[in-house]
Amino acid sequence: MRCKVVCSAKIPSPEGIYLCFSPVISGSKENEEYFKYTPGGTIAFNLVRKETAEKFELGKEYYVDFCSAF
């Protein structure tokens, strides 16, 4: 299953960086299609290393794929 999210927060802390992603809601026909199926929610990662967090741009959209690990 694929969803489309936007990086909605990058909050520094002494231990690392908190990253938060929210479902896209508008801006393109594709985003409106995704919004129909994922109208709300968040994906959050706590204490991400600075080098990793730098790869994500605040306000930029990303695809997230979920698949079984088994």
d(CA 56, CA 27): 19
d(CA 61, CA 63): 7
Confidence band, pLDDT 50/70/90 cuts, at residue 2: confident
What pLDDT does residue 67 have?
A: 93
User: pTM value?
Assistant: 0.79
Per-residue pLDDT of 15-59, as tens digits, reads 889 999 998 877 788 777 767 766 678 999 987 888 889 999 999
Task: State the average pLDDT over residues 1-12.
Answer: 90
d(CA 23, CA 30): 12
What pLDDT does residue 49 have?
A: 87
What pLDDT does residue 60 have?
A: 96
